[in-house]
Every structure is written in structure tokens, then in C-alpha cells.
Amino acid sequence: MENPQSLHGFPGGLALDPRKAMSTEQPLLRLPLGFEYVLPLLQHEGDPAEPVVAVGERVLRGQVIARAEGYFSLPIHAPTSGTVTAVEPRPIPHPSGLLADCIVIEADGLDEEEQSRPAIENPAAVHPSRLRNRLRECGVAGLGGAAFPTHVKLNPTGERQAEVLIINGAQCEPYISCDDMLLRERADEVIAGVQTMLVALDCPRALVAIEADTPEAMAAVDAAIEASKDERIERVMVPTVYPEGGERQLIQTLLGREVPSGGLPIDVGAICHNVGTALAAWRAIHYGEALTERVVTVTGEGVHQPRNVIARLGTPVADLLSFCGGYTGSAERLIMGGPMMGFALSNDQIPVVKGSTCVLAASDTEVVTEKHAMPCIRCGECAEVCPASLLPQQLYWHARDRDLEEAEAYHLFDCIECGCCDVVCPSHIPLVQYFRAAKTEIWARQQERQKSELARRRYEERQARLAREAEEKKRRLEEKKASLAARKKGDKEVKSEIDAILSRVKARRQQDSGEKGD
């Protein structure tokens, strides 16, 4: 299938060694059931889920164990049947290495499933809101790494309507091949998911973007589209350039439209979803299946048998590595994600979550662990490769000097942290680390300002409430005084009337007595 869709490209980028072949030689395999599963309450963008199970409670696969807190949140479901053994802080996959609240389940080996969500047999015949609600009930999030709640993304706000749904199969980061293998083996379900998403989004067409170096995936998608006979869906081959799979970069390549600074894809009429998300959406709609597993690439020179596996959420990374033959003698560093945008794991007991695309057991030749940073020589190479058309050199100076207002003025938050600038920097300056630190400090300051503003508003509201209460108390007191005064006045008037009546009665009696005496 040739590309009728014209391509436009994006600025910068790098041609990197893909290093994907080692993990795509074997078919997908499902990981055997483990002994313990650790489910963080926050596996998605937005608000964390709230536990609804207690220690000692038995749960079934697909059962809600933590409910969504608000619209911008998702529930968490049990990945298998077993017993809740703890609700406590545990290490989670995050660059900070900090602990976060998790639900721990000891599997019973039965893998019994809860059957509580009936299939929606004909998605095209139901209202889009019903489809979005089902995706929310099933905990479906973006599986490309960001884990944005899918129901929110399929319900864009604002005046602009979605003109095109982009399905992102351009997995451009080296080593990661989970989307490639998913498309090779389950393209029919992915395309069915795309059809469902078009209904939920009320969108007229979809583009399935796949990189040029994945011919097997392209062939599988072409066959699935042809079998679907759906003319709304088109497969598009995109160049193998990093970071082609970035949301903004892919939109620019396919549509020639640049998402504005601080804006969203819907601002240019586009919505992007990952191929794995499309599959999860189809499973949720057609089978009522909650998101409890995902495809994960296990790769690198530090593992004996690199491959892609289907792993239950909450599975410790150690179980994935053990299933793939265990560590080799050259294992030097454990990374969640790829070498460009991933982060180091402190240990292999960290669990797989919704956004876990890859576990990279890297040797010392695959990742650079330590390089002495030298002063910036102002060569400008970082700006040449930046896919967001930023000036990393300027951003670095402002971030280093903690001149955060200037960093924001240079569009710090448009940085996608792809790491291209790090790769080409001849001075080995960890630019992305500076950018992340600056963003974190800005967010922290914003939160402090919000807290201060909230405290100020609460104080002002309290003072206003106390003033209102004092005024109300004063008003009630005055009304009470007036009422008492009126009552006293009324009592006097009544007493006077009674006295007058008694006087008249007395006078009449005296008059009657006088008349009788006569």
C-alpha cells in the first residue's frame, strides 16, 4: 500500500541505531502467573484512585480494587484472583525512586475472573458517551507511556472538532518493539479498536502511522484494514527518525500542522492514541475486559533471551527478566523505558504499570552511565537536532542559574525531554536533567503559590464569614430587643385595658348597689 497521505516532516531529530531486532525474533508470549502483584494507585495522568478493598479480602481478576476519584482519574483492577495482603507505600516506577501507595495482592493461582461488564455488541449503534464511560470503567489509559485517561482524550473540549484520529505505531526509541510485535500479531483487534475510537470521538477518518523499518507490522495492518473494508482508515509509513513517535512531531509529519506552544493536538484538529490503547479499547468494549495486562519489551545485552511478553500489571520486573532467561554477566543498569527517555530503576522489584513499555537490562556499552561534563562551547548542535525548535543552550543557562522566568520565556515546557540534545552535546552536559529540574522547581513554586493563594482565600472567607455571623448575631439581638420592647409595651396596653374594664365593672356594681338602696 503506497502512501496517498503526503508527509511534511518535523525539524531536528536523529537517526539512531534501532537495536530492535534482538527482541522481535520470537513471538509474543504470555508471562505465567506470579506470586505477588503490586498495584500503584496512580498509574495514569490525573488523580490517584481510592482503595475500595481491605487487607484480607479476596478479589477476582478484573474486579475494581480502587475507584476513580473524579473525572480525570481511572480505577485500578485486580490483575488476577487472590487475597489483598497490604495497602501500603511501595517503590514504584518513577525517576524519583520514591515510594507511593499501592495495593498488594497475593495470587491464589486460580485466576478467576469477575464477569460484571457485558459486551457492547454494536458500538456504532450506541451513543459515544456510553463507549467513553465503558473505557473509563475498564481503566483504559494511553499505553504509549504517558498513560493519559483515554475517555478524557476521546472527549475533547472547546470549539474545534476532531478532524483526524492518529494511531501512533511509530515507536521510534531504540530497543522498544512492543508496538511492532502487537501489530504483527493482533492487527485485526487494533483496527477494530480504531473503528470503535472513531465512533467514540465522532471523527471522520483515522491514520495509522508506522515506521518504515517495520515491514511485517505494515503488512499485518494493511491486511486488517482490507479485511475491515473501512475506507475511513489509512495506513501511513513514516520515516525512521527519532523522535518521530512524539505526539507533536507525528502530527507535524502527517498533517503539516504545528501544535501551538502550550496548546493541545485538538487545537489543530487531531487526536493521537497508541496502537496498544486501540487494542485495550476494543477489548473493553467488545469483551468488557478491564486493563489488567500489557505488552512489554524485555531487552538489552543484560538479559539472556530478549523478547516481548504479555505481562499482568503489578508484576515485578524481576519476574519478566527471569522469564527471559535472567541476567547475563554484562548487565550493568536496569532501565524502565528506552535509553533516551527512560529512567533507571533502583531494583528489580518495581512493578509493571500501565505506562511500562520496556524493561532494558543494559550493558555498559549500551548506556553511558558517567561522563564528566565540560563547559558549553556554544556550538549550537543541540538547537539543530531539537524537534521542538527550541534553543537548548539558552534553556540550559537559565535552568543552571535558576532564572526560571527566562527559562519559561524560552518555552521550557515545550521541551519533550527526548534527549536529542544530550546525545549530540560535545561537552557531555546532561541538558535534559537541567530541564527536568527546572520544570520540577517551577511546578513546586506554582503549587506553593496555589497553597498560599488557597490559604489567603480561606482566611478572607473565614473573616468574611465571621463578619457575617457577627452582623447576623447583632441583627438577631436587635430584633430580640425590639420584640421584648414591643411585648412589654403590649403587656402595658393590655394591662391598661384590663384595668379600665375592671374599673368600669366596679363602677357598674357600685351604681347597681346604689340603685337597690334607693
List, as residue ranges, the binding site. Answer: 376, 379, 382, 386, 415, 418, 421, 425
Phi, psi of 380 (to 5 degrees): 85, 5
Look at residue 167 and give its three-state secondary structure. strand
Distance of alpha carbon 189 from alpha carbon 221, whole angstroms? 10
On whether the CB atoms of residues 29 and 298 are closer than 8 A, the answer is no
- How far is it, in rounded angstroms, from Cα 371 to Cα 369? 7
Q: Please, what is the end-to-end C-alpha distance for the chain in angstroms?
A: 138
- Of 348, 353, 315, 319, the closest CA to residue 331 belongs to 348
Query: 194, 157, 376, 374: which is closest to 274 by C-alpha?
Result: 194
Cβ-contact 342, 299 below 8 angstroms? no
Closest CA to 145 of 321, 422, 312, 342: 342
- Whether the CB-CB separation of 1 and 378 falls below 8 Å is answered with no
Q: What is the DSSP string of 78-104?
A: -SSSEEEEEEEEEE-SSTT--EEEEEE
* E strands present in 289-350: 293-299, 307-312, 333-336, 343-344
Host H or E run for residue 360: strand 358-362
How far apart CA 79 and CA 69 sit, in angstroms, is 20
The alpha carbons of the chain give a radius of gyration, in whole angstroms, of 34
- Binding site as annotated, residues for [4Fe-4S] cluster: 376, 379, 382, 386, 415, 418, 421, 425
Instruction: Give one word for 470, left, alpha or beta, with left for phi > 0 and alpha for psi -120 to 50.
Output: alpha
Contact 391, 330 (CB under 8 A): no
Other beta carbons less than 10 A from residue 320's beta carbon:
23
User: What residues have CB less than 8 Å from 220, skipping those under 6 apart?
Assistant: 183, 184, 185, 187
Residue with cell 533502583: 346
Contact 364, 334 (CB under 8 A): no
Residue positions counted in the chain: 518
Question: Rounded to whole angstroms, what are the CA distances from 459 to 53, 104, 463?
Answer: 37, 41, 6
- The CA distance from 229 to 188, in Å, is 12
